[in-house]
Amino acid sequence: MLTQERHKEILDLLNKKSVVTVSELSEMFETSESTIRRDLALLDKQKKLNKIFGGAQAIRQVSGALENEVSIRENVMRPQKDKIARYAAKLINDDDFVFIDSGTTTSMMIDYIGPTKATFVTNGIAHSLKLLRKGLNAYLIGGRIKPVTEAVVGAEGVNSLSGYNFTKAFLGANGIDLNAGFTTPDLEEAHIKRTAANNSYVSFVLADSSKFRKTTPITFANLNKCCIITDKAPGNDWSDITAIKVVE
C-alpha cells in the first residue's frame, strides 16, 4: 500500500472512531509500529490529526460565540437540511404538544408539517409566522428578541417554558461532540434549549453532518439526552451513547 493511501485510510478511520492506537493501525496495515508513528507524526505536522501518546485522535473543531445571520446559515448544507426536516415533520401526531426551536433546519421542518391537531410552542419569530400561515395551533413565548438568530431568549422565555410539559421537542445545535455534547454559542439560547429538552418526553436534535465533532461555547444537553436526526452517521461509537437516525 502506498503511503498516501495509508494516510487516507488512517484519517477515514479516525473520522469514524475519534481515537486510534499505534498497535491497531500496525495490525490493520500489516506494517511496523515505527512506520505508523512516522505516519502519525507527519499527519500531525500537517494538522490533519492530533498525535497523542500511543496513537492519535481526530481534530476537534472549537468555534467561538460569533454566529452568522439566518439568511447566510439557511443556505449552508441546504439539501441535507431539507431531508432532515422532511423526516422530522413526519414524527408529529395529532395528540402532540410540541416545542420547535429557532434555527434553519427547524424552520424548514415546518414547511413539511401537514394538517394536524397538534399544538406548537416556539421561540422562533419566523417559525411562529410559518405556523400561523399554515393554520396550526401555535404559541410564541415571550422574552428578549435576539436579532442575529431571530429567536426569543432570556429569563422570561425560560420561565414560560418551565410550565410546559412537551411530548416532543425539536432542537437545533451548532456543534455536537462526544465529550461536550450538544452546544450552542449563546448562553441565553442554551437556557431555552436546555429547558425545552428537560421538559420534553423525547427531544430530537436536527443536525446536518457538518455539526459533528464541533464544539461551541455552551453545552445545553448531554448526548444521551436527545436523539439525533442527521444525513450522515458520525461513527459507530456514537450509537452507543445516543439514538441516531440517518435519513436517506
How much is the pLDDT for 213? 84
CA distance 87 to 171: 14
Q: Which amino acid is at 199?
A: N
pLDDT tens digits along 139-187: 999 999 988 778 999 999 999 899 999 999 999 999 998 889 999 988 9
Determine contact, residues 140/120, Cβ cutoff 8 Å: no
- Give yes or no for residue 62 having a pLDDT over 80: no
pLDDT tens digits along 93-133: 999 999 999 989 999 999 999 999 999 999 999 999 999 99
How much is the pLDDT for 108? 95
How much is the pLDDT for 118? 98
- The beta strand positions in the chain, using DSSP E, are 19-21, 50-52, 55-57, 61-62, 97-100, 119-122, 137-140, 144-146, 151-153, 166-171, 175-177, 181-184, 200-206, 214-215, 218-221, 227-230, 244-246
- Give yes or no for residue 134 having a pLDDT over 50: yes
Sequence ranges of the domains in the chain = 3-59, 70-246
CA distance 42 to 19: 17
Q: Mean pLDDT throughout 187-195? A: 95
C-alpha cell at 228: 439525533
How much is the pLDDT for 76? 64
pLDDT band, residue 73 (cuts 50/70/90): low
Element (H, E) at 22: helix 22-29
- Comparing 2 with 138, which gets the higher pLDDT? 138
Helix (H, G, I), strand (E, B) or coil at 99: strand
- Give yes or no for residue 3 having a pLDDT over 80: yes
- Comparing 232 with 91, which gets the higher pLDDT? 91
Terminus-to-terminus CA distance in the chain, angstroms?
33
pLDDT band, residue 71 (cuts 50/70/90): very low
CA distance 106 to 196: 14
Q: Answer whether CATH 1.10.10.10 is correct for domain 3-59.
A: yes
**Which pTM was predicted?**
0.75
* Domain 70-246: which CATH number of 1.20.210.10, 3.30.70.20, 3.40.50.1360, 2.60.120.10: 3.40.50.1360
